Amino acid sequence: MPKYLDLFAGAGGLSEGFLRAGYSAVAHVEMDAAACYTLKTRAAYYWLRKNNQLNIYTQYLHGEISRNEFYRNVPETVLNTVLNYEITTETLPAIFGRIDRLLDNKPLELIVGGPPCQAYSLAGRSRSETRMVGDKRNYLYKLYAEFLKRYKPECFVFENVLGLLSAKDEDGTLHFDNMRDLFSECGYSTDFRLLNASDYGVLQNRKRIILIGARGNRKNFYPEIPVVPNRWVVNEVFSDLPAIMAGEGTAVPVATAHYEGDYLYESGIKEYDTEPVSYHEARPHIEQDLEIYRIVVNAWNRSGTRVLYTELPEHLRAHNNTKSFLDRFKVVAGNLSHAQTIVAHIARDGHYYIHPDINQNRSLTPREAARIQTFPDNYYFESKKGIPSRTLAYKQIGNAVPVCLAQHIAIALLNRLK
């Protein structure tokens, strides 16, 4: 059972894939407090499951006990594997100390994770006056390298957005080349692939750079990650969830309907029929947005056409920007093999993620977004204060690595490690 360290862990999508593949997590390092609670709750879930005490987890999700009461049922050694730190030069000694104690002189086989992508993403650069040049997040890979130097794992997995390939440093050199040079100085050979989550059991078009490093001077070490044939359409994600309107639903678990398909089981989203789901809660919308949603969904369902913002009736166009982001209102097409990429902006509004059922007439719930990201239905997304937060759930889900993509990477790498 290879041990791994997860850096910039977020809500744990990457980690969940490695856990499914049989790895063991030594620690998760994450700066966002809400995401850290999500990681702690997931660690608690696994411990309770192993010890046949999932009834306690159920009580917590239904609000019958508080988060503090819930955590008291789990050993502190389990919860303390989640380290709530921003990774900086100043915090490295404290983080190293915590990880050293958790490792207890045992070797670490693997480091996984990718720094926040805002500084590398094309969208982030387009919104920045400086094109993100000089942003400190550009150089978090240097801190990532410090972990490689200290723990010398056999391999590491570095995930990030495609914009990383074209990002440049202040001197005009390619950021990605400088990054790989540093990893080489740390003693690692590196190789990378551009992977689309839609090729690995995820009903979503989500392309990412997956860079893998192997210790020593190595060639042809990148594992073969077989593509998974897709037999499904996006409606599989919605098929067994209760129909709700805008502003309806709840964060508390509700039962699902009978499901006769295969996808939700094969992807690991669903474990058993009518399994309850949390966070199936739709945000409210003003009437103007609901009218736009009806137009957009009708156009897609009737003729398979997308409606640009400039094509909407004039009384519905409230934005001055008519030159860019013209697809800002977009239905998640249930009859296609994959949805558009789920990103953290879903926490701000749902216009880019409209439900395909015109009768429900709303944007996606956090649970629907989580299913598109292939999070299992028993995964719970926390807030800072222990009170359910739809907004924070959206943010964590949008920032995550799809679980099924991570699992296929982990399985392929496991064969190499063996």
Active-site positions read: 117
How many helical (H) and strand (E) elements, i.e. helices and strands, does the chain have?
A: 15, 9
Structure tokens at 25: 């997590």
Cβ contact 376:271 at 8 Å: yes
Decide the pairing of beta strands 155-160 and 110-112. Answer: parallel
> How many whole angstroms from its chain centre is CA 62?
24
* Of the candidates 225, 153, 146, the residue with the CA atom closest to the CA atom of residue 2: 153
Strands, DSSP E only, in 261-378? 280-281
Q: Is 418 exposed, middle or buried (0-12, 13-18, 19+ CB in 10 A)?
A: exposed
Q: Which residues contact 217 (CB under 8 A, 6 or more apart)?
A: 189
Sign of CA dihedral 147, 149, 150, 152: positive
In degrees and rounded to multiples of 5, residue 301 shows phi and psi of -65, -30
Q: Is 131 exposed, middle or buried (0-12, 13-18, 19+ CB in 10 A)?
A: middle
SS3 content of the chain, % helix, strand, coil (to 5): 40, 15, 50
Torsion angle of the four alpha carbons 403, 259, 55, 68, in this order, in degrees rounded to the nearest 10? 50
SS3 225: coil
Q: What angle do CA 90, 95, 99 make, to 5 degrees?
A: 160
* Of the candidates 113, 108, 105, the residue with the CA atom closest to the CA atom of residue 87: 113
* Of the candidates 121, 168, 18, 167, the residue with the CA atom closest to the CA atom of residue 398: 121
Tell me the H-state helices in 268-389: 287-303, 366-372
CA distance 3 to 111: 9
Cβ contact 143:179 at 8 Å: no
